[in-house]
Structure 1
C-alpha cells in the first residue's frame, strides 16, 4: 500500500499521486491547521523580530519550566506521523520524557527519555546516520519511523529537570486513510544500574498482541576491565518457555559488528581499539572512553534496526540480552557483568497497549 495509501513513499513510488493531505506541527503552527502557519504575534523570537513584525520567525520554539508537561501535538486522524525533528538547548536528555498516545488510549505507546529515543542516551552528542534515526550537528534529533493512527495522535514532552529549557520541534504528518493491516508504533525505555550478578537484562517483556519488533537501542556502561560483549540476545515469542525461538551469538554480532568492534584484532596493519560506525540498519555511533582521571567507565551507544528483517509475533514477545565478559585467568571462563544498561525497544503491534513498567524517578534515570 506504500504510495497508494499516502502513508509513505519510496523511490519506486515517489511519482505516484495521492489524495493524502500533508500537514506539519511546530511552534509556528501549534495545531497544524491549513493556512495558519507563521501567524504568531508573540513567542520566543518576538524580541528578535521587533522591527520586522508578524510572519518573521516570531515563534520558532517553546520554553519549558521545571516540572512542566506540555502537549506538543494533538491530531485527529486517520493519518500517520512521518517525520519528527527536535532540538533542545539542554543536554539533560534523560530528564526530558517523550510520550505518544494513540487513539485516545490512557497509557502511552511511547515513553522514552528524549536522547535515548533518538539513539543518544548519554547526554553527549553522537552523530547517527541511519534510515530510522538521524542525529545531525548540532544536536538535531530526527526520526523517520512511520507512525499510523486511526482516531487520534497525542505527543507530550515532560521536563523533569530542575532548570528551564528551550525546545524546537517540527512533526510532519499526513491525513489519509490507514489500511486495516497497519499496526501502531511503540517504544519502551528500561534501565538497570547496576545489573545484579548473574541476571539477564530484559529489553522488553509483557507485550500482548500481534505485531513485529523493529529495533533496539542500547546505552551500555561497562563497570569492569576487559571485553564485555559476549552476551546473547534472545527473542521469546508466542508462548516460548525456557528456550527462545531466536538466539543470537554475541552482543557485537547482534549489532552487526564483529571481533570486539576492533579492526586491529584480526589485521595488525589496522589501528587497534573500538571503532565507531553508523550505517542504515546498525551502528556503534558512540564510544565514551575513560580519560584516566574522572571518566571511570567506558560507555557505548549501539543501535540495530530490523527494517528488512522484522521479528514477527502473533500473541506475545519478550526480548533479553546477557551481560557477559571474560574472567582474567589462563583457562578462560565467562564473567557475568554488573553493568549500567539502558535500552529502548521499538515495535509495532495491535492495540490496546499494556501499561509499561514504571519509568523511574528523575534521579533513577540520571546519567551518573
Structure 2
C-alpha cells in the first residue's frame, strides 16, 4: 500500500499513481481522468440536505420561496439556510464510508463569529473547530482573492476547500452563529462513497489567537498526540509597530523535542516562501502573491483613520513537503522585528492562526476557543 501522503494528495499533486485500485480510483488528474471508478458521487446542499440520490431540488419551502412563488417546486426554492443568533446548524450528517472531496460556501454575517466544526465517525469532540473566515484564509473579515491548490476564495466571497477528508463510518459538519444577528449560508458539500484504506488518516484543523503575543511567541499548536503529518498554516497578522515585522523563526518540535526543535525556519517571509520583506524593489511596497502552495494574499494598509494598523493574511501548504510526526507535534513562531542599532525587537502583535494536519484517531482534546469578545476583530 502506498504511503498516506500519496493517497490523500494525489488529486492535488496531479501525478499518475502506480496503482489505480487504491481509494477505489479517486486519484484522478489530467493524466488519468478518463478512468472509471465504482465510487458513488453524492452532494449535500440546502436543495438536498441528505445527499440521497434523486432527492435534490424537491423543496417546496425555503429561503427562495418568495421569488419562486410563481414557478414552484424545482425552481431554486431552497438555495440557502438561515441561522439565527446563537444557533448551531447541522450542514451535513452522513452515515457511510468515503471521502469529502470539495466544500463550497458563502456565509453572510461575521466570519470570525461563525464557527465551523467537523466530527469524524461519531466522535464527541470535533476534529475541526475554526472560525469559518479563518479556515478559508479570510481572518480579517474582508474578502481577498486566494488561489491555491487546497483553498480558493473567489469573487463574491466564495469559499472553497479541496482538502480530501476521509471518513469510515460517519461525518457531521455544523456551523454556529455566535453573533447577535441572523446570517444566511449558501453551501455545497461534494463527497464520494467508497472504501477507505487502512492507513488513511483524518483531517484536522485548529484555531488559536495571541492578542497580543506574550514573550514575542505565538504558539500555533501544542499537544498534538499521535501519528500523522502536518499540511498547512494560515496566519492573520496585525503589526503593532511601524517597522518590518517578519524576522521571527517558525519552529517545529516533534516526537519528544524539548528545548530545541527539529525544524527551525530562517524568517517569517521565508517560511511563506517569500524573501526580503515581501518587498517589490521598484515600488518599495509589499507585494501580494497567491500561488499553489504559499502566499501573502491579503494586505490591509492603514487608512489614517479607523484602520490604523497594517494587517496581513498569509498561507503555507505543506503538500509537496508534509511534516511527518510519529508521536507528537508543537509549533511556534517568533514575533520579531527591528529596533535601533540593528537589533531585534520582540514585538507584541495580534496574531491568529489556523493549522491543518492529518492524523490517526484518537486526537488530543483541543483548547477552548477564545470567548466571543476575544475572537472579535477590532
1:42 counterpart SS class: coil
- 1:13: Cα distance to partner? 2.6
Where does structure 1 lack aligned partners over 5 or more consecutive residues?
265-269
**Which of the numbers 282, 285, 288 marks the counterpart of 2:300?**
288
Equivalent residue, structure 2, for 1:363: 373
**Which of the numbers 181, 185, 194 marks the counterpart of 2:199?**
181
Establish whether residue 81 from structure 1 lines up as the match of residue 100 from structure 2.
yes
Is the CA contact 1:74–1:154 (under 8 Å) kept in the aligned structure 2? yes
Equivalent residue, structure 1, for 2:158: 140
Equivalent residue, structure 1, for 2:256: 239
Counterpart-to-counterpart distance in 2, 1:237 and 1:53: 58
Counterpart-to-counterpart distance in 2, 1:200 and 1:287: 22
Equivalent residue, structure 2, for 1:271: 283
- Compute the TM-score of the two structures, normalised by the length of structure 2: 0.93
1:106 counterpart SS class: coil
**Which of the numbers 301, 305, 326 marks the counterpart of 1:314?**
326
Counterpart-to-counterpart distance in 1, 2:178 and 2:49: 22
- 1:8: Cα distance to partner? 4.1
Q: How does 1:12-161 map to 2 (within 5 A)?
A: 12-90=31-109, 92-161=110-179
User: How many residues were matched structurally?
Assistant: 359
Counterpart-to-counterpart distance in 1, 2:62 and 2:332: 46
Where does structure 2 lack aligned partners over 5 or more consecutive residues?
1-6, 11-19
- 1:26: Cα distance to partner? 0.1
Is the CA contact 2:251–2:265 (under 8 Å) kept in the aligned structure 1? yes
1:252 counterpart SS class: helix
- Compute the TM-score of the two structures, normalised by the length of structure 1: 0.96
Establish whether residue 226 from structure 1 lines up as the match of residue 243 from structure 2.
yes
Is the CA contact 1:107–1:354 (under 8 Å) kept in the aligned structure 2? no
1:115 counterpart SS class: helix
- 1:354: Cα distance to partner? 1.2
Q: Which digits, 9 at most, give the CA deviation of each residue in 1:142-168, with x for residues without a partner?
A: 000000010111000000010001110
Is the CA contact 1:108–1:353 (under 8 Å) kept in the aligned structure 2? no
1:50 counterpart SS class: coil
- 1:209: Cα distance to partner? 0.5
Counterpart-to-counterpart distance in 2, 1:235 and 1:41: 53
Is the CA contact 2:113–2:179 (under 8 Å) kept in the aligned structure 1? yes
Establish whether residue 340 from structure 1 lines up as the match of residue 350 from structure 2.
yes
Counterpart-to-counterpart distance in 2, 1:177 and 1:261: 44
Is the CA contact 2:143–2:157 (under 8 Å) kept in the aligned structure 1? yes
Equivalent residue, structure 2, for 1:267: none
1:9 counterpart SS class: coil
- 1:12: Cα distance to partner? 2.4
Equivalent residue, structure 2, for 1:214: 231
Is the CA contact 2:216–2:336 (under 8 Å) kept in the aligned structure 1? no
2:112 counterpart SS class: helix
**Which of the numbers 234, 244, 248 marks the counterpart of 2:265?**
248
- 1:321: Cα distance to partner? 0.3
- 1:271: Cα distance to partner? 1.2
Equivalent residue, structure 1, for 2:360: 350
Is the CA contact 2:229–2:322 (under 8 Å) kept in the aligned structure 1? yes
Counterpart-to-counterpart distance in 1, 2:108 and 2:219: 32
Q: Which digits, 9 at most, give the CA deviation of each residue in 1:51-110, with x for residues without a partner?
A: 1110001000000100000110001121010000000232x1000000000011111000
Counterpart-to-counterpart distance in 2, 1:320 and 1:119: 19
Q: Which digits, 9 at most, give the CA deviation of each residue in 1:237-260, with x for residues without a partner?
A: 111111111110000000000000
